[in-house]
């Protein structure tokens, strides 16, 4: 059975909002311990795909297996058990602005694992150091942080409970190239240290090349190409070629209004 090797297995995933069909039959596998990056233009449904897998959105149709277990139609209680395997870094960081930085990082430890606050704080400070931030940052409010620091704190929060699967939604978008690369390195290190499976989405090719074992491209609601990162320049797929070289000419037509 291939189920044993796949941590995430998506089959025939459909999702529409009203008349707008966003996903129209996505098939995708992510192996245990693998780092898969989904690339695609803005508004092609990358975030929607990740949110369906996380259970934040309900698929209209299709199957999503996590570690061999069907998650579509799961009860709330089962869902909670699966959720504990996940860590997620949101596009904008999504830090809780009513809480201090360390409380953000320790959130799941305190609220979900019911750890004493001081013990959780120690772990939070450890994770803060892992993402290269000074201990003083722990006492700040998220609003006092720069974009790059917010991403780092978001990453520290995502890995605080040592998840088996980590999701990254556009981890480098909105950062300067150097900070972007710092985040890439942190992602690679964190995923490797945890031995976690990673599913990332991005339109930043430099980031994709760096953090991916395999790359998949999403276009018009489907995965149109998947392959090892080494093959991306010889994909033989004109859509992929157009995207990675960022050319306006080609088969991909940008909708002027999304």
Query: Given phi > 0 = left and psi -120 to 50 = alpha, else beta, which region is 42?
Result: beta
Between 47 and 197, name the residue whose CB sits nearer to Mg ion.
47
Give yes or no for a contact between 156 and 105, defined as CB atoms under 8 angstroms apart. Answer: yes
Q: What angle do helix axes 177-194 and 147-159 make, rounded to 10 degrees?
A: 10
Which CB, 44 or 237, lies closer to ligand ADP? 44
Tell whether residue 207 is a contact of ligand ADP (CB under 6 A).
no
Q: Using CB under 5 A, which of the segments 43-51, 58-66, 82-90, 135-143 binds Mg ion?
A: 43-51
Contact (CB, 8 A) for 7 and 69: no
Of the two residues 22 and 212, which places its CB atom closer to ligand ADP in the complex? 22
Q: Can you tell me which of 28, 29, 34, 45 binds ligand ADP, judged by CB under 6 A?
A: 45
Q: What would the x/- binding string for other proteins be over residues 23 to 62, using CB under 8 A?
A: ----------------------------x--xxx------
Task: Select 169 or 241, whichever has its Cβ closest to ligand ADP.
Answer: 169
Q: How far apart are CA 39 and CA 26, in angstroms?
A: 13
CA dihedral over 138, 144, 149, 150, signed as positive or negative:
positive
Q: Which stretch binds other proteins (CB under 8 A): 64-72, 89-97, 127-135, 246-254?
A: 89-97
């Amino acid at each position: 059975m291939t189920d044993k090797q796949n941590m995430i297995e998506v089959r025939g995933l459909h999702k529409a909002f009203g008349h707008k069909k966003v996903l129209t039959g996505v098939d995708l596998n992510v192996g245990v311990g693998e780092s898969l990056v989904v690339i695609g233009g803005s508004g092609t449904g990358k975030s929607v795909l990740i949110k369906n897998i996380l259970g934040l959105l309900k698929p209209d149709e299709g199957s999503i297996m996590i570690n061999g277990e069907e998650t579509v139609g799961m009860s709330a209680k089962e869902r909670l058990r699966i959720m504990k395997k996940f860590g997620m870094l949101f596009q904008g960081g999504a830090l809780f602005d009513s809480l201090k930085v360390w409380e953000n990082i320790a959130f799941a430890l305190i609220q979900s694992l019911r750890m004493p606050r001081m013990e959780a704080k120690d772990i939070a400070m450890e994770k803060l150091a892992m993402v290269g931030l000074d201990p003083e940052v722990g006492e700040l409010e998220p609003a006092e942080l720069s974009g790059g620091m917010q991403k780092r704190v978001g990453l520290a929060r995502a890995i605080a409970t040592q998840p088996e699967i980590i999701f990254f939604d556009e981890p480098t978008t909105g950062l300067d190239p150097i900070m972007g690369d710092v985040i890439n390195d942190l992602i690679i290190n964190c995923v490797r240290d945890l031995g976690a499976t990673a599913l990332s989405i991005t339109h930043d090719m430099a980031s994709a090349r760096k953090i991916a074992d395999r790359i998949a491209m999403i276009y018009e609601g489907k995965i149109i190409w998947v392959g090892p990162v080494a093959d991306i320049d010889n994909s033989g797929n004109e859509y992929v070629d157009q995207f990675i070289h960022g050319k306006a000419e080609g088969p991909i037509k940008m909708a002027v209004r999304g």
